[in-house]
Amino acid sequence: MGLFSRFRESAAIRCVRAVLEQGKSSAEGVAAAVRLMEVGTQRCVPILCEALAKEDPTLQVQAARALATVQKRQPDERILKALNAAVLNERHNAQARQAAVEAIATVVDASHTKSLHEVLRSHRTPLQVRVAAIRALKKLGYGEVLERLVEATLFGPTEDPRGEIHRWAIRELGALDEHEKLTKIYEIIHGRRKLHYRSFAAVPGGPASLVPILAEIDPKGAIRFLHMMSDDENPGVREAAVKALRPAQGKGPAAAPPPG
């Protein structure tokens, strides 16, 4: 790094410190963090980590972005620790946590995403952060996005009283570009594919609770699976499949099985 870049980095560090310690305008701190994206080295990591922990969403967002940029130039375990802590900190504004999620997705691979799984497991995670976590896992090529979304559909009324997590998960599953997604959910219902973070033992109805989501995700594509389950050996699954096959208004006979 040249002398001018070192000068710019030192000036930006002093500016961020002044914002944190003297209450100067956060706009100045944000501008300084932007400069650190360009010239920052490991020297600026402590002050950026401090800015990320401060309850100032605008500054936190830029600090997360700056830390990710520095991490790409000069990897530093302190950066990963700070970003993961910000993701998990429920006292932080959702915007700041989202920025930390997005920053992590640019500096790790799919095997280093524990904090992203943690926010998906918690019913207290704001939807904005949950959406960012799923997008990050997709971006990183994580292989069990479908399973994490299926788990989200299992949050009960106590955890998801307005049903917003469930509705979001159904939308994401419907949009998921995965040819065998209904087959995989069928396998989860029958224990041939495992969930990591949710247990059917804690869900009213057990595996039968997943049967209706097949029709919610893909009404037409689900018919074949629902017919297979309409004589399932599990009475709960069987009853749920028969119910899901009825027309939406709950009138008339079950839909006819597909030809062939």
Mean pLDDT of 60-82: 97
- Whether 123 is in a domain gets the answer no
Residue 95 CA to residue 60 CA, distance in Å, equals 9
- Whether 87 is in a domain gets the answer yes
Would you place residue 255 in the very low, low, confident or very high pLDDT band (cuts 50, 70, 90)? very low
Could you tell me if 97 and 1 lie in one domain?
yes
Q: What is the pLDDT of residue 1?
A: 66
Which of these three, 78, 106, 134, is where a domain ends? 106
Side-chain-side CA neighbours of residue 110 (13 Å): 11
- Whether 183 is in a domain gets the answer yes
Residue 190 CA to residue 233 CA, distance in Å, equals 10
CA 112, 114, 118: angle at the middle one, nearest 5?
160
Q: What is the pLDDT of residue 249?
A: 29
The tally of domains found in the chain comes to 2
Q: For residue 130, is pLDDT > 80? A: yes
> In which domain, by residue range, is 66 found?
1-106
Mean pLDDT of 65-94: 97
Which of these three, 106, 137, 168, is where a domain ends? 106
Side-chain-side CA neighbours of residue 20 (13 Å): 21
What CATH number has the domain bearing residue 18? 1.25.10.10
- Residue-wise pLDDT for 197-252, tens only, equals 988 888 888 999 999 999 999 999 999 999 999 999 999 999 999 999 984 324 34
- Whether 30 is in a domain gets the answer yes
- Whether 137 is in a domain gets the answer no
- Whether 166 is in a domain gets the answer no
Which of these three, 47, 80, 106, is where a domain ends? 106
- Whether 253 is in a domain gets the answer yes
Could you tell me if 96 and 192 lie in one domain?
no
87, 83, 41, 40: which is closest to 64 by C-alpha? 83
- Whether 40 is in a domain gets the answer yes
